[in-house]
Structure 1
Amino acid sequence: MRIALPLLAALLVVTGCSSNKALIINDQQSLVMDSNVLTAGITASRPSLDTDKGRKQAWADISNGQNHAVTIHYRFYWYDEQGLDVLPYPETHTLVVPSDSSVRVQAVNGNLEARRVRLYLYL
């Protein structure tokens, strides 16, 4: 038992050093919302991705189920095939979602390395 624990620790260190350095983005996590967004009655679809004239285009629908308008902030993050950030970093946008309605948000990225997108919503 005394030998097994240090051997296991050494094995974990070696395994960690030899792993691939790419950050693979999980496609199931393409939509990230702060908990207070859900509490405010906002829901959103996962972003869709398409290519138009060599540029990547992403969009998502944001819905407000409340009987009053809600102001939210959003940002699309772009990633390459390995899951690394694609520059330039996107800017944050502010949107007022009217009561009991939906709004489509979109973003375009001209960087040819962009392969994945993540939408982040917060109040």
Structure 2
Amino acid sequence: MRLLMILGLVLGLTACSSTTSGISIESSNQNVVIGNTDLARRLTIEQAQVGKVNGLLKAGVPIVSNVDSDLSLQYRFYWYDAQGLEVNGSDSPWRHVILHGRDSMTLQAVARSAQITQYRIYIRQAD
């Protein structure tokens, strides 16, 4: 059932999204926005995890490879306050990971400020 919901969301959002380089997930509502349908077929995004570390928001986004070959990926977190406004200087650098065939991993980061309550993660294929 969850897979069908994700596939429906993928198809619906792909039809109305502008050209982007990857996939984004919002923590507030778990919306997944697909900008790269090839990557979306090769990668499954599981339910995001949110916690606290020393009073700071900790985000974890589990991903699973749907292919036998390695995926070279980059990801980046953006951080937002309770009103949904991006916190100045909160974007993190692009991080590079290799997701091996049929393997899984969790992409993680910790916010830099206690005022951060939400995040968005972008995932794209590395060049």
TM above 0.5, yes or no, is yes
How far 1:52 moved relative to its partner? 1.5
Larger-gyration structure (1/2): 1
Which residue matches 1:92? Answer: 94
Which residue matches 2:23? Answer: none
Q: State the alpha-carbon separation in 2 of the partners of residues 26 and 68 from structure 1.
A: 29
Note if contact 1:30-1:118 (Cα within 8 Å) is conserved in structure 2.
Answer: no
Which residue matches 2:15? Answer: none
Q: Say what the alpha-carbon RMSD is for the aligned residues.
A: 2.0
Which residue matches 1:63? Answer: 64
Q: State the alpha-carbon separation in 2 of the partners of residues 63 and 111 from structure 1.
A: 29
Q: State the alpha-carbon separation in 2 of the partners of residues 113 and 78 from structure 1.
A: 10
Q: State the alpha-carbon separation in 1 of the partners of residues 106 and 27 from structure 2.
A: 23
Q: State the alpha-carbon separation in 2 of the partners of residues 93 and 32 from structure 1.
A: 19
How far 1:122 moved relative to its partner? 1.2
User: What's the TM-score once normalised by structure 1's chain length?
Assistant: 0.70
Which residue matches 1:12? Answer: none
Which residue matches 1:18? Answer: none
- Structure 2 vs 1, CA of residues 68 and 97 (structure 1 numbering), >3 Å: closer, same or farther? same
How far 1:26 moved relative to its partner? 7.9
Q: What is the number of residues matched between the two proteins?
A: 98
Amino acid paired to 1:55: L
- Structure 2 vs 1, CA of residues 85 and 79 (structure 1 numbering), >3 Å: closer, same or farther? same
Q: State the alpha-carbon separation in 1 of the partners of residues 92 and 56 from structure 2.
A: 15
Task: Using the aligned pairs only, state the percent identity.
Answer: 23
